[in-house]
Amino acid sequence: MSITRPQRITGALLASHAADALGATLESQSATAIRERYPNGLRDIVGGGPFGLLPGQATHDTDLTRAVLLAYLDRARINAAGGDPDVASLAAGHMLKWLRGDWPERRQGRKPVHVGKTTLEGLQKYGETGEYVGSGGAGGEGKAGNGSLMRCLPTGLFEEDADRLLLDSVAISAITHADERCTVSCAAYNAIARDLVAGRTPQEAVESGLEVARKLEKDTAVADAIELGKKFSIADMAANGPVGLPSEASGFVLESLAIAVAAVLDKRPLEDVVIDVVRIGGDTDTNAAIAAGLLGARDGEDAVPERWVGRLQFGDDFAEIVSHILTTESGSSG
């Protein structure tokens, strides 16, 4: 049975959310420590971890993905009314609301459980000046964490125009992460996601991402990361640790991208691949969320285990937002 576009979009978001929640329990632990505690991998969402989360509670990965997702809901409504909004500004506004506590199950003024340093600095600057880290030039260079790659997925799911996808991917990354390795990684990742949503094979989608990286970047760092991901085995890294990753999968954007490429090319079921990505250790929640976004787009929402989906803080919320966006888009195009 063929997988529909809505099923792929919803699957990508639910898979990313579930993988984030699964990996949060083991955040920052080594592959060796995880193997000792869970010889066959952590298979259920149980909460806890360094942030003391409830089972299925979103980390900043999922919260900020939701902020970008809400920006695309805003865009769909504004487009339907004849407008042409700047989706990056919309996304930045929702991110700022999240930071300030204007968010489901939070109190106004209450800080998030966790926020990365680079993300915090970028959002504080936006709140004070209305300008992104990357506004007006190459600000934010030298900070190449995975904090924008973890949230960029909605652009790949909803932007079908190739040029607009690249522009929006770069702009949304540059709200907090303007280093070329981050902006180009987001663009390449979203090109992969777009192709998967369109029903292209993982191999074809990865080649599209590679083409984008070669087009946009001044050197070959992102393209090299994609090529590296094509050679990796997620199962081998899960069994032996993050061999070949100098930062040991601990938050460097290029390593997270390489893991995601390896994951989407892995022919096993989504559940098995996500569990093994967590087993690699390091930045377990974010690496898993990034990889699972592509796996969900590849396999659709039915591939995400029901026992995971039933625990997700924003499971119903994500499905409803997707439905609203697609309905609004359909109505405006008709």
Q: Quick check: 42 pLDDT over 90? A: yes
Is residue 276 annotated as involved in ligand binding? no
User: Domain containing 253 — which CATH number?
Assistant: 1.10.4080.10
Residue 159 lies in a domain: yes
Q: Quick check: 251 pLDDT over 90? A: yes
Is residue 236 annotated as involved in ligand binding? no
- Domains in the chain, number: 1
Mean per-residue pLDDT of the chain: 94
DSSP string for 114-151: ---HHHHHHHHHHHHHS--TTTTS-TTTT--BSTTTTT
In tens, the pLDDT along 175-221 reads 999 999 999 999 999 999 999 999 999 999 999 999 999 999 999 99
> Distance between CA atoms of 311 and 159, rounded to whole angstroms?
29
Residue 334 lies in a domain: no
Residue 103 lies in a domain: yes
Q: Quick check: 334 pLDDT over 60? A: no
Mean pLDDT is lowest, of 100-109, 175-184, 313-322, for: 100-109
> Distance between CA atoms of 316 and 68, rounded to whole angstroms?
17
Contacts of 293 (CB under 8 A, 6+ apart): 12, 13, 15, 16, 153, 156, 193, 260
What's the whole-number mean pLDDT along residues 135-153? Answer: 75
Residue 100 lies in a domain: yes
Assess contact for 55 and 20: CB atoms under 8 A: no
Confidence of residue 143 (pLDDT cuts 50, 70, 90): confident
For residue 286, the enclosing domain spans: 5-329
Is residue 59 annotated as involved in ligand binding? yes
